[in-house]
Structure 1
């Protein structure tokens, strides 16, 4: 492997950096997008059960926020009702939506970088191949005394860059699509959880006085 890297020349080093970055991002996203860390399946039912008769204390809300991404969204809605007992349903929905947008933004972290690597790696490989071809043909003697075996070997070495770029791009694109689908599924779960919590929390809102 090291001899291939040496033979491919300096254009392969950016590809090596891309491969390391892509591997690090995939590991980080696998760790951060685990189900219990984002949206525990029973969390909404537990929150509804705890708040069935009264709103929780600040300590409980803070603990909920640290529980998971979904917990942070639910905690935002609870804080909105606690801070403003006369809150309207529209205002409560806006609080959930703001928290949901911030949560989705955190879930999408580094995905654009991974997608960029998947798109750029083949181009970097092609650039390395073109540079290698230019060097090969530029080093040939103008008198026509070229060795076809050496020329063929030089071309095959230049193509290492393109092959390496594709080796990086294909799994990077697959993981990018997988993580994107995972984030979309979590986004739907956050929306459904907020939809369940709004009517439940509105029971604690103090009705506004209507004008005579």
Structure 2
């Protein structure tokens, strides 16, 4: 308590910032530790389903696996019937969403590292101001009064560094974890797109099944006689067109 009082309000601010930094670090660490990266089995199932043109099985495999890789793959798989450009666009959109979700909290942690250092510097300045104010009032004959200001300066400087250094290390560690996850997503993307390119290059007919189902029906109009007067009316007949 005496140390806290000697640091003044600046030290209190540093302590509050340190508590927030601890919360951010452990919250992010807990979230990232729950993300599954063992995607080898997932990719084996997805690639097999894509080659067999069974999108439902591929997306069920993604749901059962979970994790950022599975979520991005599922978004891309849902667009396979619309061609490779649509798959690429869906993958990129899902990738950016995962990147934003994974990096949430990292920027505030980096900011805390900078703010803690600046607060320590602020405490140094205010402590020296107090010390010189004592000198101007009492001269140099009262070392105890002079030591109070210098002590405040040193305590806040040390506290700022004690908070900033672990915050920088924690931010670096969490950033490396996020980068590893994003690189894994990119690697699996290349693997999936190779199978997608092969699959969409040979489109089966609707009677063969698969994910290239008929997506539209068109109406074709023709003229036919319908009564004794010879008057002709329009009748629409619907024909199926394979996509």
Please tell me the TM-score bracket, short chain as reference: 0.7 to 0.9
1:73 maps to which residue? Answer: 72
Q: Is the 8 A contact 1:125 1:164 kept in 2?
A: yes
* 2:194 corresponds to 1:195: no
> How far, CA to CA, are the matches of 1:49 and 1:57 in structure 2?
9
Residue by residue, what CA displacement relative to the aligned partner does 1:8-42 show, whole Å, maximum 9, x if unpaired? 111112111110111011101111112x5142333
**Which structure has the larger Rg over C-alpha atoms?**
2
Counterpart CA distance in 2 for 1:111 and 1:194 is 25
* Partner residue, 2:56: 56
Q: Counterpart of 1:186?
A: 181
Larger strand share, 1 or 2: 2
Q: After superposition, give the CA deviation of every residue in 1:79-107 in whole Å (9 maximum; x if it has no partner).
A: 112xxx2x232331222122112111111
Q: SS of 2:24's equivalent?
A: helix
Q: Which has the bigger relative contact order, CA under 8 A and spacing at least 6?
A: 1
SS in structure 2 opposite 1:160?
helix
Task: Answer whether contact 1:40 1:68 (CA < 8 A) is retained.
Answer: no
- For normalisation by structure 2, the TM-score amounts to 0.73
Change (3 A) 1:125 1:100: same
Residue 155 of structure 1 corresponds to which residue in structure 2? 150
Report which stretch shifted further, 137-146 or 156-165.
137-146
1:36-115 superposed matches below 5 A: 37-42=35-40, 43-53=42-52, 54-56=54-56, 60=60, 63-64=63-64, 67-81=66-80, 85=81, 87-115=82-110
Runs (4+) off by over 6 Å: none
Gap change, CA 1:56 and 1:202, over 3 Å in 2: farther
Mind listing any 5+ residue stretches in structure 1 that lack a counterpart? none
Q: Residues 61 and 78 of structure 1 are in contact (CA less than 8 Å); yes or no, is this contact kept in structure 2?
A: no
Q: Secondary structure at the match of 2:141?
A: coil
Q: What's the TM-score once normalised by structure 1's chain length?
A: 0.83
Question: Per-residue displacement from partner, 1:29-85 (whole Å, max 9, x unpaired)?
Answer: 111112x51423333223324545211169727725x8111111011011112xxx2
Residue number in structure 1 paired with 2:133: 138
